[in-house]
Amino acid sequence: MRADIPNRHIPVKYTYSHVEFGARADDGKLGGMNNVAAIRKAKKLSQSDLAEMAGVEQPTISKLERGNESVTLRTIKAVADALGVGVSDLFADRSDAERAIIDAYRSLPDLRRKGWQDMARAVFSEQPQDLAQEDQ
Whole-angstrom distance, CA of residue 32 vs CA of residue 64: 10
Give, for 131, the enclosing helix (H) or strand (E): helix 128-135
Residue 24, pLDDT score: 39
Q: Is pLDDT of 76 > 50? A: yes
Segment 78-97, tens digit of pLDDT: 999 999 998 878 876 667 78
Whole-angstrom distance, CA of residue 62 vs CA of residue 48: 9
End-to-end CA distance of the chain: 50
Q: Is pLDDT of 101 > 70? A: yes
Segment 6-59, tens digit of pLDDT: 555 555 544 444 434 443 333 433 345 668 998 999 999 999 999 999 999 999
Residue 68, pLDDT score: 73
Q: What is the mean pLDDT of residues 103-116?
A: 87
Domain locations in the chain as residue ranges: 14-93
Instruction: For domain 14-93, give its CATH number from 3.40.50.1000, 1.10.260.40, 1.20.120.1770, 2.40.40.20.
Output: 1.10.260.40
Residue 54, pLDDT score: 96
Whole-angstrom distance, CA of residue 124 vs CA of residue 41: 29
Q: Residue 108: left if φ>0, alpha if ψ -120 to 50, beta else—which one?
A: beta
Residue 92, pLDDT score: 65
Q: What is the mean pLDDT of residues 116-126?
A: 81
